[in-house]
A = this chain, B = another copy of it.
Amino acid sequence: MSLRLIATGGTFDKHYNELTGELGFADSHLPAVIARSRMTVAVALETLPLLDSLDMQDADRQRVLAACRAAPEPAIVIIHGTDTMRETAGVLGEAALAKTIVLTGAMIPYEIANSDALFNLGFATGVAQTLPAGVYVAMNGQVFAWDKVTKNRAAGVFQPA
Contact = CB atoms under 8 A, between A and B. Distances in A.
Nearest to A114: B36
Given A119-B118, A156-B18, A126 B143 contact: yes
B127 A40 contact: no
Contacts of A39: 140-142
Interface in A105-120: 107-109, 111-116, 118-120
How often does this chain occur in the complex, in copies? 4
A126 B39 CA distance: 15
14 contacts: A16-B112, A36-B115, A36-B119, A39-B141, A40-B159, A118-B122, A119-B122, A120-B122, A122-B123, A125-B126, A126-B126, A126-B138, A126-B143, A127-B127
Interface of A: 1, 3, 11, 16, 18-19, 21, 23, 33, 36-41, 43, 107-109, 111-116, 118-127, 129-131, 138-143, 153-154, 156-159
